[in-house]
Amino acid sequence: MSTAPTLADWMAAVQHRTEHALAAALPSPALAPRRLHEAMRYAVLGGGKRVRPLLAHAAGELTGGAPEDVDRVACAVELIHAYSLVHDDLPCMDDDVLRRGKPTVHVEYDEATALLVGDALQTLAFQVLAERPLRQAPGVQLEMLAQLAAASGSRGMAGGQAIDLASVGRKLGREELEFMHVHKTGALIRAAVLLGARTGPALEETALERLDHYAKIVGLLFQVVDDILDAEADTATLGKTAGKDADNDKPTYVSLLGLSEARRLAEDMLCEAKASLQGFGPRALRLGQLADYVVHRAF
């Protein structure tokens, strides 16, 4: 009787296949323009926990999607995420010098190159998702492209970043803070789950609603934990500059609630996310484990 791999082994396998798929999708640094292609690979490869690809593969397991199709979704979402980090680190945004334990792209290269890296990674994400048919019907693949675009744009991640920049120095209420992070962080995490699920047979409406609720809560949960880490962890642990939110007078769950209340909120969200998976049975094993992982990487 075979047993499922441990979470650590499963995560390592997904991270390895994601790294391989990203390396294959990114242009070779031997191709012109070489400096841009080298910088794109610098921004994407060899770093990060690949939380969004992990969630996409966990959701693909829930619906029985083909791993090769989930790889495409995982790459597309991770390329959007990587582009957002490159742009967020620019001097005109968060002005950070460290990301994933190494100099940010504009520090290692220059600002103009970093801007182009973000632009190129964004367009590559849609190319990866569109260039070959998935096992689902073409109409579903088009819907998936539209879903990724919506999660990335002004009504999703980019809009959330705009709200974040406009909120510096302001005290936001819980509702306003949640609205910002549903868009800035949550939209792409939600897309990773829902797009991963769409690589398999369609879920019934009530099941899809429960999965969507899980994805929304995990997206917020990820941000609550990020805020806790920013307040508590050191730069070496984070791989980026610690305490940057407080230094920049940004509203966070910690500044709003305090550390102990933020931790309590994270535990409450974890229970809510896992409750949304009830009824899916063993197929939701990895989604439940990843919700635990998101929280307990901090405390």
DSSP-derived secondary structure letter, 182: H
Domain contains 1? no
Q: What is the CA radius of gyration of the chain?
A: 18
Percent of the chain clearing pLDDT 90 (strictly above)? 84
pLDDT at site 136: 77
Across 248-275, average pLDDT: 93
Domain contains 174? yes
Domain contains 45? yes
Domain contains 2? no
Enclosing domain of residue 12: 7-296
For the segment 103-158, what is each residue's pLDDT rounded down to a tens digit?
A: 999 999 999 999 999 999 999 999 999 999 998 788 999 999 999 999 999 999 99
DSSP per-residue codes, 12-64: HHHHHHHHHHHHHHSPPTTSSSHHHHHHHHHHHTT-S--HHHHHHHHHHHHHT
Domain count, the chain: 1
pTM of the entire predicted model: 0.94
Q: What is the largest CA-CA distance in the chain?
A: 58
**Pairing of the two strands 102-103 and 98-99:** antiparallel
- Using CA atoms, how far apart are residues 189 and 78, in angstroms rounded to an integer? 10
Structure tokens at 260: 């102990």
Q: What is the CATH number of the domain that holds 223?
A: 1.10.600.10
pLDDT at site 239: 66
Domain contains 154? yes
- Read off φ and ψ for residue 90, nearest 5 degrees: -60, 155
For the segment 47-59, what is each residue's pLDDT rounded down to a tens digit?
A: 889 999 999 999 9
For the segment 24-76, what is each residue's pLDDT rounded down to a tens digit?
A: 999 999 999 999 999 999 999 998 899 999 999 999 999 999 999 999 999 99
What lies within 8 Å, CB to CB, of 154 at 6+ separation is: 162
b/e burial code for range 10-20 (CB count within 10 A of at least 16 → b): bbeebbebbbe
Nearest to residue 44, comparing CAs of 77, 11, 66? Answer: 77
Domain contains 36? yes
